[in-house]
Amino acid sequence: MDFKYIIVGAGLAGLTMAERIANELNEKVLVIEKRGHIGGNIYDSYNEDGILIHNYGPHIFHTNDRGVYEYLSNFTKWNDFWHRVLTYVDGNLIPMPITVETINKLYNLNLNCSQVEEFLNNQAVAIEEIKTSKDVALSKVGKDIYEKIFETYTKKQWGIDPSELDTSVISRIPIRLNRDTRYFNDKYQGMPTHGYTKMCEKMAANKNIKILLNTDYKEVIGQINYDVLIYTGATDEFYDYKHGKLSYRSINFVFETKDVEEYQQAPVVNYPNDYDYTRITEYKKLTEQKHNKTTIGKEFPCAEGEPYYPFPTKECKAQFALYEEEMKRESKVIFIGRLAEYRYYNMDAVVRRALDAFENLKSI
């Protein structure tokens, strides 16, 4: 079999590359996917009660990258959606991320914006060099808020102490000195009107794109002649684990359908201190679907299972650097995506990486 371009993985990275090659270069491309569906971790589907769920956890599109927003808008319309999260602390539901409302509810106060700034400045711990996620939180909000909101959630999510995690993890959560309770700051936010799978199907709807599902690329790659391999799977697997197995954090998603129209007050409720799960998502509140029942998803983080989160620690980065040396030497392979680059990328970053990689590919 001859294909100029082979793509391993039909997630967002792989499909963006496939779409660009098929449409702009008008070349044939074979996508090999080991799961039984396209979309990778953004895959969504209707469950037996007819409720649209995100099979691999809640996905909310948000970006400041106009190019990425416009690119994906070729394949979907967006519901005007601003994500909101509540967190369950000391028996109360309070807004996340930390805003003026959060501080007032947490301490039963009635401070204005500048008083909250002063309050947080008084709480903040002076740290000379911010090296870890724990330093980030302590230096911004102090010990009490760190312990109530970040410490145990992070231990549950990652299985290690925040003092062992890179600064980037807790830095994902903004601290706001105003009353804006939206979860994300980004200019463009939304949910695909008909879901992520429909968006992915449109990306793949080109006769130049052939998709082989339920197939590990290693089973077939020896029988295919190709010029370029675009690889979006795990890098350690690509190199047969020669520098050891990379660590990932996995999640066990447990779905429950309730015979009520509404389950909770926000699309996502975080549980930093109580219960073994980190958060509960009520999917109808993301998708705006109308239904007389509702499906919720609980997230139980775990060490074994599908590799969802690359581990942002010093040791893991050092181990990945050994693979990066190998990757640089490849002349026919392009590595992109959350698994292949071992980075905690959001969807927009993955699409940006793929669009940029495509521009490079065109120029060689």
Cα gap 238→216, rounded to integer Å: 11
Say if CB 20 and CB 245 are below 8 A apart: no
Q: Is 42 in the site for ligand FAD (CB under 6 A)?
A: yes
Cα gap 190→359, rounded to integer Å: 26
Say if CB 222 and CB 3 are below 8 A apart: no
Residue count, binding to ligand FAD (CB under 6 A): 36
C-alpha dist (Å) from residue 260 to 55, 92, 161, 263: 21, 22, 38, 7
Q: Is 96 in the site for ligand UDP (CB under 6 A)?
A: yes
From the list ligand UDP, ligand FAD, none, partner contacted by residue 232 (C-beta under 5 to 8 A by kind): ligand FAD
Q: Is 189 in the site for ligand FAD (CB under 6 A)?
A: no
Total residues belonging to the chain: 364
From the list ligand FAD, ligand UDP, none, partner contacted by residue 104 (C-beta under 5 to 8 A by kind): none
- Tell me which stretch binds ligand UDP (CB under 6 A): 22-30, 48-56, 108-116, 167-175: 167-175
Cα gap 108→344, rounded to integer Å: 36
Q: Is 305 in the site for ligand FAD (CB under 6 A)?
A: no
Cα gap 357→336, rounded to integer Å: 8
Choice between 150 and 183, CB closer to ligand FAD: 183
Sign of CA dihedral 261, 263, 266, 267: negative
Sign of CA dihedral 162, 165, 170, 171: positive
Q: Terminus-to-terminus CA distance in the chain, angstroms?
A: 24
**Binding test (CB under 6 A) with ligand FAD, winner from 71, 263, 308, 320:** 308
Choice between 59 and 148, CB closer to ligand FAD: 59
- Tell me which stretch binds ligand UDP (CB under 6 A): 34-42, 152-160, 258-266, 326-334: 152-160
Applying CB under 6 A, which residues contact ligand FAD? Answer: 8-14, 32-35, 40-42, 56-61, 216-217, 232-234, 237, 251, 308, 337-339, 345-348, 350
Applying CB under 6 A, which residues contact ligand UDP? Answer: 87, 96, 149-150, 153-154, 157, 169-170, 172-173, 270, 272
